């Protein structure tokens, strides 16, 4: 058990990568708190994860509510050893077709709220805790139509380094998981029929050297490394789980076809 008796808080723990990480952390002996907005998926996640998991309904863009929820969680479960700032949204923002509101919604959820998630957790974090931020390969991909999302994930990448340096005096480590295309409900708007889902999976998977999308559990296992003492002298880095899409793109099927 690599997380025995550790208390872990996971934002967006009711879906996708956050839910998969909650399962992995629980299996490794952690006490887990999950947050999310959707009461149905929160209740379903709590049921799947089992007794002893605290599920809190809170919108990460509401700083005061986040501070209250984290204080409540700490009062019930004790101080946190692990924080996974995972909650986030996707969404295209093509030039010429994007409103200020659409752009700012992505910035406030994926960037501003990540900062305030860490700040709100800080009074309840043990010295030596592990903070994990969730980035994305979009930080470096240059994908047309995704400026706001890519900008938030580039900013998260910078914040990982800033926070690692800032929190080092307390022995708090700050690292980042960087997923490539991963099979989660975030893709639901683009895969509403089985055919659309298969085509999307083929297209995204085809952009990576290993030729497939990641499973959420594969990101969770990278988060586990950062959460556990296996990474006790590791801070300010990222682990990219993308089948080589960013490091070895020439291996992708689209480039190999002869």
> Minimum CB separation from ligand NDP for residue 171, in Å?
26
- Of the pair 18, 205, the CB lying nearest ligand NDP is at 18
- Of the pair 49, 186, the CB lying nearest ligand NDP is at 186
Q: How far apart are CA 5 and CA 205, in angstroms?
A: 37
> Minimum CB separation from ligand NDP for residue 128, in Å?
25
Residues 6+ apart with CB under 8 A from 203: none
Which residues form the interface with ligand NDP (CB under 6 A)?
11-12, 14-18, 36-38, 41, 59-61, 86-89, 109, 134, 136, 179, 181-182, 184-186
> Minimum CB separation from ligand NDP for residue 169, in Å?
28
**Which residues are the active-site residues?**
149
> Minimum CB separation from ligand NDP for residue 182, in Å?
4
- Of the pair 30, 87, the CB lying nearest ligand NDP is at 87
- Of the pair 41, 126, the CB lying nearest ligand NDP is at 41
Task: Write the CA distances from 125 to 61, 81, 201, integer angstroms.
Answer: 20, 6, 38
Q: Beta strands 80-85 and 125-134: pairing type?
A: parallel
Bridge partners, 133 (sequence order)? 85, 176
Q: How far apart are CA 190 and CA 186, in angstroms?
A: 9
Task: Write the CA distances from 193 to 43, 190, 201, integer angstroms.
Answer: 26, 9, 12
Residues 6+ apart with CB under 8 A from 82: 3, 6, 7, 8, 9, 25, 30, 129, 130, 131, 132, 227
Please compute Rg for the chain using Cα positions.
18
Give DSSP secondary structure letters for 189-252.
Answer: GG--SHHHHHHHHHHHHTTSTT-SPBPHHHHHHHHHHHHSGGGTT--S-EEEESTTTTT-GGGS
- Of the pair 48, 232, the CB lying nearest ligand NDP is at 48
> Minimum CB separation from ligand NDP for residue 101, in Å?
14
- Of the pair 129, 132, the CB lying nearest ligand NDP is at 132
> Minimum CB separation from ligand NDP for residue 10, in Å?
9
């Amino acid at each position: 058990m690599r997380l025995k008796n550790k208390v872990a808080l996971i934002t967006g723990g009711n879906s996708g990568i956050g839910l998969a990480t909650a399962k992995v952390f629980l299996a490794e002996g952690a006490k887990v708190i999950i947050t999310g907005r959707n009461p149905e998926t929160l209740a379903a996640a709590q049921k799947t994860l089992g007794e002893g998991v605290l599920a809190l309904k809170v919108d990460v863009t509401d700083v005061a509510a986040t501070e209250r929820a984290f204080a409540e969680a700490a009062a019930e479960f004790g101080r946190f050893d692990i924080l996974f700032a995972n909650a986030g949204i996707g969404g295209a923002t093509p030039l010429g077709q994007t409103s200020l509101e659409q752009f700012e919604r992505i910035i406030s959820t994926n960037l501003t709220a990540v900062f305030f998630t860490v700040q709100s957790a800080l009074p309840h974090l043990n010295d030596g805790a592990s903070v994990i931020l969730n980035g994305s390969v979009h930080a470096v991909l240059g994908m047309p139509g995704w400026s706001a999302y890519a900008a938030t994930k580039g900013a998260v990448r910078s914040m990982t380094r800033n926070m690692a340096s800032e929190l080092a005096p307390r022995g708090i480590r700050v690292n980042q998981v960087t997923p490539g295309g991963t099979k989660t409900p975030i893709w639901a708007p683009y895969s509403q029929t089985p055919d659309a889902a298969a085509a999307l999976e083929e297209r995204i998977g085809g952009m990576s050297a290993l030729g497939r999308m990641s499973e959420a559990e594969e990101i969770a296992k990278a988060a586990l490394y950062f959460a556990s003492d296996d990474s006790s002298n590791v801070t300010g880095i990222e682990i990219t789980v993308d089948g080589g899409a960013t490091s070895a793109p020439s291996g992708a099927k689209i480039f190999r076809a002869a």
